[in-house]
Amino acid sequence: MTTNKLLLRFISGLFILTSIVACGITVNEARKEIIALCGNFHAGVLKKDVIRQLNTGTFLEFEELNINNLTQIYVSSKFTLNLVTCDIEFDDNHVVINVIRG
C-alpha cells in the first residue's frame, strides 16, 4: 500500500472513532438530563414549575397527555431512543401527584 492510502485509512478511521465518541457523549448527556430534571419533581410541585424546568432541557422532548381524566406529561429523548423516560402525573389542581421514571 502506498503512503497516501494508509494516510486516508488512518484519517477515515479517526473520523469514524470521533463520530462514535461524539454520539456516545450526546446520548449520555440526554440520559442524564432526563434523570436530573425528573429528579426535581415530587408530589406537591406545580405544573407550571414542571413545564418551566422542562423547557430548560436541550436534548429532551415532552408532551402533555390527558388519559382517563388524568393529566400527564411524558418526557423522553430521541437521542436515547426513548429508553429513558419520565411520566409526571397531575391532579385536578395541576399539582404533581406521582412521578414514574422508566
Domain 3-101 class, CATH top level:
alpha beta
Is 60 exposed, middle or buried (CB count within 10 Å of its CB: 0-12, 13-18, 19+)? buried
Q: What tens digit of pLDDT does each residue of 6-56 get?
A: 999 999 999 999 999 999 999 999 999 999 999 999 999 999 999 999 999
Tens-digit pLDDT profile for residues 43-91: 999 999 999 999 999 999 999 999 888 899 999 999 999 999 999 999 9
Q: Say yes or no to pLDDT of 1 above 70.
A: no
* Per-residue 3-state assignment (H helix, E strand, C coil) for the chain: CCHHHHHHHHHHHHHHHHHHHHHHHHHHHHHHHHHHHHHCCCCCCEHHHHHHHHCCCCCCEEEEEEECCEEEEEEECHHHCCCCCEEEEECCCCEEEEEEEC
The answer to whether the pTM exceeds 0.85 is: no
Give me the residue spans of the domains in the chain.
3-101
Give 96's strand partners.
Answer: 90
